[in-house]
Amino acid sequence: MLQFPILTIIIFWPILGSFVVLAAYRSPRLVRWLSLGISLVEMALVAALFFLDLQPYATPQGTWLLLEDYAWIPWLGARYSLGLDGISLLLVLLVAFINIFSVLISWKAIDFKVGSFFFWILFLEGTLVGLFLAADLLLFYLFWEIQIIPMFFLVGIWGHENRIHAAVKFLLYTLSGSLFMLIALIALYVMHGHQTGIYTFSVYQLMQHGPLGTTTEILLFGAFLLAFAIKIPLIPVHTWLPDTHTEAPTAGSVDLAGLLLKTGVYALFRFAMPLFPYATQLFIPVLLVLGVGGLFYAAWIALAQTDIKRLVAYSSISHMALIVIGIAIWNVTTLSGSLLQMINHGLSTSALFIMVGMLDERTHSRDFAVMGGIWSKMPVFSTFFLLFALSSMGLPGLNNFVGEVLILVGAFKVKPVIAILSFVGIVFGVIYILRMVQDCLFGQPRAEHVFWDLDFRETVMLAALALAVLSIGLHPGPVLHLLDQPIQAMLQQIAQLGLP
């Protein structure tokens, strides 16, 4: 067991760095370089985990590659418990990787309150890492709530014309769901204590609770599901997302689509379904209906959009719905596909939002009416844009194809009707992506603008993302290997409870 507190360091390095950046607010240039340096060091710390000889080992808090577990609030039964397995390792890597681009894409775009902006970007990074590593339910809830604050300020201060409306809507939706989760968390804590005499927030120990009663378990699971469904988001609690994306600065959209949406699916898989397995079985048809419905609804609405950023926002709802379908099917193949698709969506959609931000800088508009003919004016930009659009479509050889195929194959084995409907929904996605590519890159220019192609900073960003997209698409084995052990462990724990 590694004794060095590396997990704590990778959580608090960006948080502490954010205060250093804030202290340097008088020099915007220094703020930018400090933020980039802190983000690169965070990426190096996370990457170093891959070079450690980590093997899964069992603990009273579950099976982990690394575990840091200390008394936090002893009289309450809360522990400072951080666990790293293959799933959290990949998600933490995604956070560190994407945050570098959030800093770089804001290099020129943010020209006021620069210190405060990068403070919130780095602070958000630390809270997201903490959320993906928390193995204590109270600690998880703490990070879950704190992550709302940076996004609220990023949208509310540096967003577009209707930023206050979008920020408040985001805050109300997420806080409302979190309140129900808090009530359910406290109820589960008290009932487990009454049953066992042990009051704890340890996720692994709470999974061992005795029968709660069907009604009670349904209510508790429903409360958790509501909080996570809002963050995913699932219809009908999705309406905050398009507004927030539309009004957010580019870095806010990148972090929201690439990282924050993953917290809902992750929490559903890691906490809600294992804690309430009987209720999960009852809710699976509901999740499948919401997933399939969201897949078609979001794709249909995306086709009607005239704002390219709003189109990409609705595409996120559609992609996340497919991920929920894979989670709800609940077998090794679909779980592997869904968890892999979380990483894929984080890469591809973040890249698209970055490129939409680049277009906005050049045209001062996101309306399709001012686009068209961009390929002849910006060939390098257009090449990258086409690559990431094809990735979002699920073209073979690119990252999204692998995840989508695993979900469809795994679903077809047990629920062929759901698999067929999901496939049709993916085809709808192809239509709106092709429409976006056609209206942006090809045809005649619809308005006169001075376009300039990518500079060095922009090229490096997109090249790094393209390399990640191609690497997973052509050789997904290492990523799937990291996912295999925690998925098998989760399925085994559920099977021990007498469920399939």
Kindly list the domain boundaries of the chain, sorted by start residue. 6-496
* pLDDT given at position 333: 94
* pLDDT given at position 365: 82
C-alpha distances out from residue 120 to 149, 165, 213, 248, 253, Å: 9, 20, 43, 14, 14
For range 204-216, the mean pLDDT: 81
Q: Residue 341: which of 434, 251, 257, 406 has the closest Cα?
A: 406
Instruction: Look at residue 367 and tell me whether its pLDDT is greater than 90.
Output: no
* pLDDT given at position 491: 84
Instruction: Look at residue 44 and tell me whether its pLDDT is greater than 70.
Output: yes
Question: pLDDT above 90 covers what percent of the chain?
Answer: 76
For range 448-452, the mean pLDDT: 71
* pLDDT given at position 450: 64
Instruction: Look at residue 390 and tell me whether its pLDDT is greater than 90.
Output: yes
Instruction: Look at residue 174 and tell me whether its pLDDT is greater than 50.
Output: yes
* pLDDT given at position 244: 94
For range 390-411, the mean pLDDT: 95
Q: How far apart are CA 293 and CA 418, in angstroms?
A: 11
* Average per-residue pLDDT for the chain: 91
* pLDDT given at position 1: 44
Instruction: Look at residue 35 and tell me whether its pLDDT is greater than 90.
Output: yes
For range 235-240, the mean pLDDT: 92
Instruction: Look at residue 259 and tell me whether its pLDDT is greater than 70.
Output: yes
Q: How far apart are CA 388 and CA 383, in angstroms?
A: 9
Residue that wins the pLDDT comparison between 439 and 140: 140
Instruction: Look at residue 9 and tell me whether its pLDDT is greater than 60.
Output: yes
pLDDT-derived band at 207 (thresholds 50, 70, 90) equals: confident
pLDDT-derived band at 500 (thresholds 50, 70, 90) equals: very low
Q: How far apart are CA 24 and CA 47, in angstroms?
A: 28
Predicted model pTM:
0.95
CB 247 within 8 A of CB 308: no
For range 94-119, the mean pLDDT: 95
pLDDT-derived band at 3 (thresholds 50, 70, 90) equals: low
C-alpha distances out from residue 465 to 166, 262, 331, Å: 28, 18, 30
* pLDDT given at position 496: 62
- 3-state SS string over the chain? CCCCCHHHHHHHHHHHHHHHHHHCCCCHHHHHHHHHHHHHHHHHHHHHHHHCCCCCEEECCEEECEEEEEEEEHHHCEEEEEEECHHHHHHHHHHHHHHHHHHHHCCCCCCCCHHHHHHHHHHHHHHHHHHHHECEHHHHHHHHHHCHHHHHHHHHHHCCCCHHHHHHHHHHHHHHHHHHHHHHHHHHHHHHHHHHCCCCCEHHHHCCCCCCCHHHHHHHHHHHHHHHHHHCCCCCCCCHHHHHHHHCCHHHHHHHHHHHHHHHHHHHHHHHHHHCHHHHHHHHHHHHHHHHHHHHHHHHHHHCCCEHHHHHHHHHHHHHHHHHHHHHHCCHHHHHHHHHHHHHHHHHHHHHHHHHHHHHHHHCCCEHHHCCCHHHHCHHHHHHHHHHHHHHHCCCCCHHHHHHHHHHHHHHHHCHHHHHHHHHHHHHHHHHHHHHHHHHHCCCCCCCCCCCCCCHHHHHHHHHHHHHHHHHHHCCHHHHHHHHHHHHHHHHHHHHCCCC
CB 313 within 8 A of CB 241: yes
Residue located via tokens 């005795």: 210
51-72 pLDDT per residue, tens = 887 887 777 767 788 999 899 9
Q: Among the listed ranges 248-252, 374-378, 420-424, which one has the minimum average pLDDT value?
A: 374-378
Q: Which residues contact 366 (CB under 8 A, 6 or more apart)?
A: 307, 308, 309, 310, 356, 359, 360
CB 288 within 8 A of CB 323: no
Q: How far apart are CA 207 and CA 189, in angstroms?
A: 11
Q: How far apart are CA 68 and CA 5, in angstroms?
A: 7
Question: pLDDT above 70 covers what percent of the chain?
Answer: 96
pLDDT-derived band at 2 (thresholds 50, 70, 90) equals: very low
pLDDT-derived band at 457 (thresholds 50, 70, 90) equals: very high
Instruction: Look at residue 293 and tell me whether its pLDDT is greater than 60.
Output: yes
Residue 415, both tokens: 């629920």
pLDDT-derived band at 366 (thresholds 50, 70, 90) equals: confident
Instruction: Look at residue 100 and tell me whether its pLDDT is greater than 90.
Output: yes
For range 462-474, the mean pLDDT: 96
Residue 94, both tokens: 């995604």
Residue 307, both tokens: 């704002």
For range 207-211, the mean pLDDT: 73
CB 157 within 8 A of CB 113: yes
Cα 409-414-418 angle, rounded to 5 deg: 70
pLDDT-derived band at 13 (thresholds 50, 70, 90) equals: very high
Residue that wins the pLDDT comparison between 36 and 365: 36
CA dihedral 97, 101, 103, 106 (to 10 degrees): -160
For range 324-345, the mean pLDDT: 95
pLDDT-derived band at 391 (thresholds 50, 70, 90) equals: very high
Q: Among the listed ranges 37-46, 290-299, 387-396, 490-499, which one has the minimum average pLDDT value?
A: 490-499
